[in-house]
Structure 1
């Protein structure tokens, strides 16, 4: 297949997935939106920490966030302190133009019980500057008012030219007498700071209903001497994959919302709120649930016991403390996506189908003009 043909197909698929996500986001509100925001924040934090060079499992992340263990058994000396990174992300996203994401980020700051890093004060200052640079870059890209695919190329060009976000190549020391173990490697380029804000550019272009974080969008391997067509294919494929993942998260949030709503509880019970919280952000200890829901210890204990008895959550013990997580059913896994029809009302699906039909017509017209 010719590069041009392959490029056209991949870019069309990316735009279609973005259109599907945009249509789904328009009709996502209430509990599903809150759960989705929690999933998005969790994905953003984990993605940023791994981008920094921290190695950990998702289970370890939840225990670390709850203050029960270190993030890694063998911490990376090149990575920025993990708690400082999470604080910087959550603080920045409290200013998001997506109100539900902003509220969820603010509530999770209170639930961040992870151990303090020795380098946190210095790292906090650096990360504040990093976020300021990211905001400036995203604002400039948004002001250009480009459509999604040209904007994606402009994003990569801006990152490649940046002294803050461009990938740093390790240079050999000028003096060969310097021992290898004495070299000081720089931190990883904090691309996550731009990626978590870039959704605002897509929102301002009318491509997405909410400015969702998109950690993993920037592909530094497409900079340099790569053939432009191949670079665009890789970038579009990455965009398509991220949009597909977000759609899967949205469908998962809808299923979990229905599960919480189906609980047989009294009308004043907040047990569904606990289940929704754990469905979104993942495992938490009771102290975190108390802070997020602003509930009493006794109240949370009752909600948790109700959910345990109902078989909706499970309990694990880490460092002598209990972590509570949603009991996973086979169909609840993010890799198994239920049809979007299960997530929305018939009227909403009719409007969604009409929107997708319009997108198909526009893409077909664009393809005809290019021939």
Structure 2
């Protein structure tokens, strides 16, 4: 039978004579006797073309034959049904292979990466984590602009974070700054940076509530929970990036990670660990732990306060707030206010500018 031979070396097709003899398929170019193929018939695979011809291939060869479908079936002894059945078998094998690969990737992303995140975080050199956190903090300056209100207020917030950080066993210096955002939240970054939104300070009913939030986030830094979350998110992102063929790069993965870091969730186990450690940090500084119970308690019943109902992102990213509020209430210990009434009134202006910065009535220290 006549056919076309693509030898896999040049783009042009060679007119060829094709024969099936003694269980083998032999094709030789009409114009050049040195161009040809000799394949085992059992290894030949057919693909039906739109023009009613078959494209024949053999797994170990880059060459390809194109022959008339009816002539091929007569020469090879294969029926159309047999060929179609073999084709479906290959399709199912391919689907099965892809499904197995997908399951393997999913297992790695959702099981392997989370399991590896903790040991990776604990063995990450502090200098590397600090550099990683600094890069992330720089990226977060776009969605979370730093507050440029009263400089004294910013210093008071920073000093409170520094004091609490001194009571912790963190390998990093704690750096706290206020940022502009339309919701109540605070979150720790790898390397010791803690961002507090202006609405959180405005909604707090005393400095001890802010101190409790800072102590909780400092505990996340100390136990390197923030780095665990970063490894978990970055590891999954880089793995998926490799699987789908690249194109986003590690730098863009970092940007994506930074952009969504405010929405990350720690497990309930890690949140409970941070709560317990926060109480120890507050007690070490002789600060009353009542602020933690009060703050969590209000967020747990945020439906009673329309402002919190609309803005409390903390509740969404820190699950089981009601249970945590109850545990914090059972663990209340007495202590001194974390700052004076005067300093608390000043700190309330940390994100206010212009007329907003004028003194307003603040909840008194309890």
- Judge same fold: TM > 0.5, yes or no: no
Comparing both structures, which one devotes a greater share of its residues to helix? 1
Structure of larger gyration radius: 2
Report 1 or 2 for greater relative contact order, CA contacts < 8 Å, sequence distance ≥ 6.
Answer: 1
Give the TM-score range, shorter chain: under 0.3
Q: Which has the higher strand share?
A: 2
TM-score normalised by structure 2 residue count: 0.24
| TM-score calculated relative to the size of structure 1 | 0.24
